[in-house]
């Protein structure tokens, strides 16, 4: 197992395949395990790096998740890129991982070749989601399949990770609101935005992406008519086809 250090904590990552480097970034309450189904076929053409963000999966646990969660994890991804020593990488983030990828691209564009941002809620937190998140997670936690998912992501202390995430998301909404420290209009790397029109968590995703289309210069948008949240997993076959093309040719 491979680790790098970010803010004195061990952060887990793994590498498979050869070629241009692509880092896959999992969403909130997930870990790199949720990206394995995409990593396997993608590694036939690329060097694929999977990472467990700090406090997740096999990474060292944190006492508390940072309130500026997606920015801080963007900085952790930048630390990983520097640790790998790769001149330029492409980032593929899904759900909260998309916000992490975009933060990294906004802060250190010289390190990033391309960005794929899948199934995310725009550049500001959504009130109804943040305010009802604890209740939603409590309900989801009573579902056997959801508990099995979280355990498979993190192990026996999965509840600690989920609770820390819930607290961070709600505190971020109350005290910060913006996901990014720089305006999304300043983003320099080309971006592929993907999502499902039937996303159960982001019901207005089409409107969000149409707004981003006006504000991001170098972008391509693909909305899948079916699937759910996230599109990367629920629409895996067409997502992989579009992803490979974008990574090879760009916009």
Per-residue pLDDT tens, the chain, 251 aa: give them: 799 999 999 999 999 999 999 999 999 999 999 999 999 999 999 999 999 999 999 999 999 999 999 999 999 999 999 999 998 999 999 999 999 999 999 999 999 999 999 999 999 999 999 999 999 999 999 999 999 999 999 999 999 999 999 999 999 999 999 999 999 999 999 999 999 999 999 999 999 999 999 999 999 999 999 999 999 999 999 999 999 999 999 87
Task: Please write the tens of the pLDDT for every residue from 120-139.
Answer: 999 999 999 999 999 999 99
What does the pLDDT read at residue 145?
Answer: 95
Domain coordinates in residue numbering, the chain? 2-124+178-249
Among 94, 48, 87, residue whose Cα is nearest residue 192: 94
What does the pLDDT read at residue 28?
Answer: 98
- pTM for the model: 0.98
The answer to whether domain 2-124+178-249 has CATH 2.70.150.10 is no
What does the pLDDT read at residue 87?
Answer: 87
């Amino acid at each position: 197992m491979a680790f790098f250090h970010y803010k004195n904590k061990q952060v887990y990552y793994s590498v498979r395949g050869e070629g241009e480097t692509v880092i896959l970034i999992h969403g909130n309450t997930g870990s790199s395990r949720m990206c394995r189904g995409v990593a396997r076929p993608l590694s036939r053409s690329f060097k694929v790096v999977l990472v467990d963000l700090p406090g997740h999966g096999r990474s060292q646990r944190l006492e508390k998740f940072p309130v500026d969660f997606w920015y801080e994890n963007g900085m952790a991804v930048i630390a990983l890129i520097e640790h790998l020593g790769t001149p330029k990488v492409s980032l593929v983030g899904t759900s909260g991982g998309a916000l992490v990828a975009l933060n990294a691209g906004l802060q250190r564009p010289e390190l990033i070749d391309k960005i794929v941002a899948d199934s995310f809620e725009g550049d500001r937190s959504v009130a109804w989601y943040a305010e009802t998140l604890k209740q939603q997670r409590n309900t989801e936690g009573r579902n056997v399949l959801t508990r099995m998912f979280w355990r498979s992501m993190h192990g026996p202390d999965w509840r600690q990770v989920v609770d820390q995430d819930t607290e961070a998301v709600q505190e971020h909404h109350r005290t910060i609101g913006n996901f990014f420290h720089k305006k999304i209009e300043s983003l320099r790397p080309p971006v592929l935005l993907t999502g499902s029109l039937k996303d159960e968590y982001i019901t207005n995703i089409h409107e969000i992406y149409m707004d981003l289309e006006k504000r991001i210069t170098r972008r391509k948008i693909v909305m899948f008519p079916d699937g759910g949240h996230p599109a990367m997993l629920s629409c895996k076959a067409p997502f992989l086809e579009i992803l490979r093309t974008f990574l090879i040719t760009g916009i």
